[in-house]
Amino acid sequence: MNLMRRFMLALVVLLWGTTGFAQAPKATLEQARNGTASSPTSPVVFQTGNLGSSNSHYVEGMSAPYRLVLENISLGAHNVIIEWDIKNGGAHAIDYITHYDRLQPHNFSPPHAQEVVNPLNGLTGPFGGPSTFAIPAPSSAGSPVAGQPTADFNALPAGERNMTIWNGSISSLSYVNQGSLTAAQSASSISIDFTATSSTVVIAWGGHLASRLVWGDGNSAGGISGSPFHMRLLEFDGSGGNQDRSMQAAAVAPTPLADLSLVKSVSNPTPLAGSTVTFTIAVTNSGPDAATNVSVADVIPSGYTYVAGSIAGGTSRTAAAPNLTWTIASLANGATTNLTFQAVVNATGNYLNVAQVTASDQEDPDSTPNNENGAPYEDDEDDATVTPTPVADLSLLKSVDNPTANVGSTVTFTIAVTNNGPSTATNVSVGDVIPSGFTYVTGSIAGGTSRSDATAPTLTWTIASLANGASTNLTFQAVVNATGSYTNVAQVTASDQYDPDSTPNNENGAPYEDDEDDATVVPTAVADLSLVKTVNNPTANVGSTVTFTIAVTNNGPSTA
Ligand SMILES: [Ca+2]
Ligand SMILES: [Ca+2]
Ligand SMILES: [Ca+2]
Ligand SMILES: [Ca+2]
Every domain of the chain and the residues it spans: 23-253, 258-384, 392-520, 527-557
Considering every ligand atom, which ligand is closest to the CA of 391?
Answer: 3
Considering every ligand atom, which ligand is closest to the CA of 506?
Answer: 4
Is pLDDT of 19 > 80? no
Is pLDDT of 8 > 50? no
Q: How far is CA 236 from CA 26, 94, 178, in A?
A: 9, 22, 19
Report the pLDDT value the prediction gives residue 33, as an integer from 0 to 100.
Answer: 98
- Half-sphere exposure (CA, 13 Å, Cβ side) for 356? 17
Cα(439)–Cα(542) distance, integer angstroms = 55
Report the pLDDT value the prediction gives residue 133, as an integer from 0 to 100.
Answer: 98
Quote the ligand 1 centre to 252 CA distance (angstroms). Answer: 24
Considering every ligand atom, which ligand is closest to the CA of 291?
Answer: 1
Cα R_g (the chain), whole angstroms? 48
CA angle 144, 145, 146 (to 5 degrees): 110
CATH architecture of 392-520: Sandwich (2.60)
pLDDT tens track for 109-153:
567 889 999 999 999 989 999 999 999 999 988 888 888 999 999
Quote the ligand 4 centre to 505 CA distance (angstroms). Answer: 5
Neighbouring CB atoms inside 10 A of 498's CB total: 13
pLDDT tens track for 502-529:
999 999 888 899 999 999 999 998 888 8
CA 155, 93, 111, 47 dihedral sign is negative
Domains 258-384 and 392-520 share a fold: yes
Torsion angle of the four alpha carbons 501, 507, 511, 517, in this order, in degrees rounded to the nearest 10: 90
With cut-offs at 50, 70 and 90, classify the pLDDT of residue 5: low
The CATH code of the domain at 258-384 is: 2.60.40.290
Quote the ligand 2 centre to 356 CA distance (angstroms). Answer: 6
Cα(451)–Cα(442) distance, integer angstroms = 13
Cα(523)–Cα(24) distance, integer angstroms = 128
What is the SS3 assignment for 244?
strand
Cα(47)–Cα(50) distance, integer angstroms = 8
Neighbouring CB atoms inside 10 A of 524's CB total: 14
Considering every ligand atom, which ligand is closest to the CA of 260?
Answer: 1
Q: What is the mean pLDDT of the chain?
A: 92
Considering every ligand atom, which ligand is closest to the CA of 393?
Answer: 3
Helix (H) / strand (E) containing 394? strand 392-400
CA 343, 349, 351, 353 dihedral sign is negative
What is the SS3 assignment for 212?
helix
Quote the ligand 3 centre to 392 CA distance (angstroms). Answer: 8
Quote the ligand 1 centre to 364 CA distance (angstroms). Answer: 5
Cα(116)–Cα(104) distance, integer angstroms = 10
Considering every ligand atom, which ligand is closest to the CA of 421?
Answer: 3
Report the pLDDT value the prediction gives residue 108, as an integer from 0 to 100.
Answer: 60
pLDDT tens track for 374-425:
888 999 999 999 999 999 999 999 999 999 999 999 999 999 999 999 999 9
Cα(275)–Cα(343) distance, integer angstroms = 8
Report the pLDDT value the prediction gives residue 204, as an integer from 0 to 100.
Answer: 98
Cα(454)–Cα(434) distance, integer angstroms = 13
Cα(369)–Cα(354) distance, integer angstroms = 14
Report the pLDDT value the prediction gives residue 107, as an integer from 0 to 100.
Answer: 63
Report the pLDDT value the prediction gives residue 339, as an integer from 0 to 100.
Answer: 98
